[in-house]
Amino acid sequence: MDLLLQQLINGLFIGSVYGLFAVGYTLVFGVLDMLNLAHAAIFTLGGLIALWLVETAGVSLWLAFPMACVAAGLLGLLLNQVAFAPLRKRSDSQFSGLISSIAMAIIFEAAALGLFGARSVRFPVGTVPTHTWQIAGITITLLQVGIVCVAASLMVILTLFIGRTRTGKAIRAVGENERAATLLGINVNGIIAFTFFVSSALGGAAGILFGLYFNNLTPDMGRSIELKGLAVIILGGMGSIPGAILGGLAFGLSEVLTVAITGTSNLRDAVAFAVLFAILLIRPSGLLGRGKTREA
Amino acid sequence: MEHLLQFYAIYGSVINFIGINALLALSLNVTLSAGMLSLGNAAFAAVGGYTAGILSLRFGFPYVASLAGGTCAAGLVGLVIGLPVLRLKGVFLAMATLAFGEVVRLAAVNLDVTGGAEGLTGIPNVTTTWMIYLVLAAAAYFIAMLRRSRLGWGLVSMREDETAASSLGIPVTYYKAVAFVIGAMLAGLAGGMYAHLNYLITPRDYGFFIAVDLLIYNIVGGTNIWYGPILGAALLTALPEVLRGAGVTAGPIRMGINGLILLLVILFLPNGLASLFARRRSSAVKAGA
Amino acid sequence: MNRLLVENVSRHFGGVQALEDVSFIVEPGTIHGLIGPNGAGKTTLINILSGLLSPSSGRMNYRNHDLHRLAAHQVAAIGIARTFQNIRLFPHMSCLENVQAGQHVTSRRSLLPRLFHLPSARREDRDLCERAMAMLARVGLDDKVSYQSRNLSYGERRRLEIARALSLNPSLLLLDEPVAGMRQGEAMVVADLLRSLCREGMTILLIEHNMSFVMSLCSRITVLDFGRVLTTGTPAEVRACREVIEAYLGTTGEPHA
Ligand SMILES: Nc1ncnc2c1ncn2[C@@H]1O[C@H](COP(=O)(O)OP(=O)(O)OP(=O)(O)O)[C@@H](O)[C@H]1O
Ligand SMILES: [Mg+2]
């Protein structure tokens, strides 16, 4: 029983990182209807940049975290400028955008490999406090609590930002109908660039938290979360921010539950992808999707 | 002659991989040319490879029979998966096939018959270079002729506009299923030949990133004509060797060049490198502009 | 029965009743007009006839086939071709290829003879190509054979779409505003084409807002308004019908000439 509870709590922690990653992922899809497969590479670079700042530049983590997020956001701007903006007018932009984002993912990963090397690296000892609590037989570390708090507050801020502010409304307007947004006097290109900045900064933040949680960073760590992130945003409904958050938590929980029930970690991902496959067949618009139908 | 043999001794395995990759890229091209983005072809190759390996290891099937078994198994799985999945469009189809691919890969990791994560070892080493290229030539010819057939015209029309295609009498759903199964069978054949080339197959040989590589071969080479995927596969498979020959040894640089080529092609040559050769089309565009 | 029979066809989209109890008959070998103000349900009716939409209720029959039971590609196979109001050509194909793509139900193009390079395959390809060229000539596009369809002018695209529909060898042709956006001269060419097709025995159901075009071409006209049939009759009868005048004056004002 305690073990199960412990597992559930662990699932909550990792699920919140998945959710944070997926929120950025789904944000771009909601606005552009394009899948940004370079998101995972930016996730990796975010983590590695933070590590570099802490380890080599000697910046404290509290400062390194926002700096690395901004750096990831700037990479997002670059990504938009190089890989997405030139394709937007093309009739096959959904497809070609997918491909060019794969190209950028490869280039980013090559950069990570070249700059930081192929080995796995970790944050120096003492970067984060290692306090732990024992509550009713369950172990919780201060780091875990910090991760959940940071992830949750970023997601809450984003939700409020999209829902309440003028810029947030503009982002939604562009997502609904680009041409109408232009007519309303919205600077569509600016909004899209800004969306990429926010999305990538969140992806970078997820990368830092992921690196802290497992205390292990590699240039290809984005690969494992890439597929999970896709699964999460489909689960939650493409373009839906609350869907991505819930999907992330559900995915994290399903992983640990599978492990707890089957007793091995072998089937962990298989169950998750089987569920994803089933959901696509039963309800392609996802659990909280907009169900947008495009009539012929 | 001597030089040639020497060349083959050094680069033989690259030459073989080019052939296999080109065959896999062609298998993806069948669905791509109909406008369906499938990321499941690596998984079909896995089905073909593991089936062929198991048939020859466990049941002592001869080479051709085990290849045929692998091809048919992949086709069958393609049919079963294809029927429900093909209602989906665009990225949703891609995601569903991707999820299917992951399930297949993870099944291979977890099952006993497939040898788990260490894979299947001891598969008879029968496939040779000339066999690969003979099959590749046959497949390329088949695809070129398929394009001129009724099915081929239907597939290209569907890519352009499904609604208009159905109003011209093209049975869109049926054709999609047929294309999906043909692609799956070609991938299964390639997977089987690979199994018999390599002595050892592991689930890693058939993961998501292999599926993405197949897509990249098609995009870089061009999806509109039969030699496009072959061109892309040959170029990108040989590139690491060429770069090594040119003195570039750092892995990141090779990877970066790969990404850069893909980026430049998608930005400036949307029909792939093959469009540089296809003069007929481009001159028609100019005449119309 | 070679007549096209439409019986009590209704269709709604959510709360919108696009068609309500629509019934009329199209006699074989005639040009039948379908007119009505914007949003009257004309396109919806053509979509239902061609199998792209299913009716909420009602039945349609043509040559002993119950159209409401057929999918779009089956409708095409029994000889009903259509064009689209918002032109749906294949943008990355040349004019010739567009028309060749339309030969799907009138060709065999079997794979086996092609794999073995049999002369029969080559003969068929040559034959189909010649037929496609003739079709392009018939709509006056023989000088644009290798142009990509997206590089054509608006009127040329409409004519190419008609050529593509004709290459199905249809006995019934459904045209959704075939001369919209065309210059007067170009529209006259299309009118002549439709007349000659009709003389050859083809049945044509024609949606058009251009009144003089409809009145001069059609032997009978059905008027739709808010999804209901106002009247069906000869051009003279329709012109005299008080409800028709009211429908046009009351909603969209003067119908554009
Ligand atoms: N796919 C759809 N979903 C919802 N409503 C639809 C759909 N298609 C048509 N409608 C509605 O049905 C009604 C009839 O539309 P339809 O396009 O058939 O009119 P029309 O007579 O062709 O008009 P026009 O002359 O403008 O082409 C309209 O109110 C339209 O908004
Ligand atoms: Mg209409």
Distance, in Å, from the CA atom of B86 to the CA atom of B94, rounded to the nearest integer, reads 10
Give the confidence band of A286 by pLDDT, cuts at 50, 70, 90.
Answer: low
Using CB atoms, pick whichever of A100, A113, A280 lies closest to residue B96.
Answer: A280
Question: B178 and B33 in contact (C-beta within 8 Å)?
Answer: no
Which backbone phi and psi does C179 adopt, to 5 degrees? Answer: -115, 15
Q: Which of A214-218, A264-268, B9-13 comes out lowest in average pLDDT?
A: A264-268
Using CB atoms, pick whichever of A92, A106, A267 lies closest to residue B259.
Answer: A106
Residue A275 one-letter amino acid:
V
CA of C96 relative to ligand 2 center, distance in Å: 27
Which of the pair, B158 or C249, is modelled with greater confidence?
B158
For residue B156, the chain C residues in CB contact (below 8 A) are 90, 93, 101
* C126 reaches B (C-beta below 8 A): no
Average pLDDT over residues B52-72: 96
Residue C1 has pLDDT above 80, yes or no: no
Distance, in Å, from the CA atom of B105 to the CA atom of B114, rounded to the nearest integer, reads 10
Average pLDDT over residues B149-159: 95
Q: What is the pLDDT of residues C49-81, one digit of tens each?
A: 999 999 999 999 999 999 999 999 999 999 999
Question: A241 and A158 in contact (C-beta within 8 Å)?
Answer: yes
Nearest CA to A204 out of A49, A32, A8, A9 is that of A49
* CA nearest to B271 within chain A: A96
Average pLDDT over residues A114-128: 79
In chain B the first and final C-alpha atoms are separated, in Å, by 50
How many Cβ atoms sit within 10 Å of the Cβ of residue C185? 8
> Within 6 Å (CB) of ligand 1, which residues are found?
A 295; C 13, 16, 18, 36, 38-44, 85
Distance, in Å, from the CA atom of A39 to the CA atom of A42, rounded to the nearest integer, reads 5
pLDDT given at position A232: 87
Average pLDDT, chain B: 90
DSSP-assigned letter for residue A265: S
pLDDT given at position A179: 84
Task: Note the residue count of chain C.
Answer: 257
Angle (deg, nearest 10), helices A61-79 and A188-214: 140
Name beta bridge partners: C231: C223
Of all residues in chain A, the percent with pLDDT exceeding 90 is: 31
Per DSSP bridges, beta strands C31-35 and C203-207 are parallel
Average pLDDT over residues A36-58: 92
| Tokens of residue C149, six digits | 């369809």
Give the confidence band of C193 by pLDDT, cuts at 50, 70, 90.
Answer: very high
Distance, in Å, from the CA atom of A280 to the CA atom of B180, rounded to the nearest integer, reads 18
Beta strands in B8-162 (DSSP E): 120-121
pLDDT given at position C249: 65
Q: What is the pLDDT of residues B15-26, one digit of tens each?
A: 999 999 999 999
Residue bearing tokens 């799956």: B184
Distance, in Å, from the CA atom of A170 to the CA atom of A181, rounded to the nearest integer, reads 8
Residue-wise DSSP of A96-109: HHHHHHHHHHHHHH
Residue A134 one-letter amino acid:
Q
User: For chain A, which residues make up each domain, given as ranges?
Assistant: 2-118+135-282
* Subunit partners of chain C (3 or more CB pairs within 8 A): B
pLDDT given at position A88: 85
Q: Which of A45-54, A230-239, B279-288, C22-31 comes out lowest in average pLDDT?
A: B279-288
| Tokens of residue B216, six digits | 């990249």
Give the confidence band of B282 by pLDDT, cuts at 50, 70, 90.
Answer: very low
Give the confidence band of B11 by pLDDT, cuts at 50, 70, 90.
Answer: confident
Min Cα separation B192/chain A (Å):
24
Residue bearing tokens 């496009």: B228
Distance, in Å, from the CA atom of A181 to the CA atom of A198, rounded to the nearest integer, reads 20
Q: Which of A28-32, A239-243, B285-289, C66-70 comes out lowest in average pLDDT?
A: B285-289
Radius of gyration (Cα) for chain B, nearest Å? 19
pLDDT given at position A1: 58
CA of C85 relative to ligand 2 center, distance in Å: 6
Question: A41 and A112 in contact (C-beta within 8 Å)?
Answer: yes
Q: Which of A126-135, A215-224, B35-44, B236-245 comes out lowest in average pLDDT?
A: A126-135
Q: Tell me if ipTM is over 0.90.
A: yes
Give the confidence band of B280 by pLDDT, cuts at 50, 70, 90.
Answer: low
Average pLDDT over residues C127-135: 96
Q: What is the pLDDT of residues A72-92, one digit of tens each?
A: 999 999 999 999 999 988 878
pLDDT given at position A133: 82
Distance, in Å, from the CA atom of C172 to the CA atom of C80, rounded to the nearest integer, reads 5
The hierarchical CATH code for the domain A2-118+135-282 is 1.10.3470
Distance, in Å, from the CA atom of A190 to the CA atom of C35, rounded to the nearest integer, reads 45
Residue-wise DSSP of A120-176: -B-PPTTSS---EEEETTEEEEHHHHHHHHHHHHHHHHHHHHHHHSHHHHHHHHHHH
pLDDT given at position C19: 96
Q: Which of B270-279, C31-40, C177-186 comes out lowest in average pLDDT?
A: B270-279
Residue bearing tokens 């004519």: C159
pTM for this model (two decimals): 0.90
Q: Say whether B161 and C94 touch across the interface (CB within 8 A).
A: no
**Which of C9, C35, C42, when mutated, tests ligand 1's pocket best, judged by the most ligand atoms within 8 Å of its CB?**
C42
Q: Which of A191-205, B86-100, B173-187 comes out lowest in average pLDDT?
A: B86-100
Give the confidence band of A122 by pLDDT, cuts at 50, 70, 90.
Answer: confident
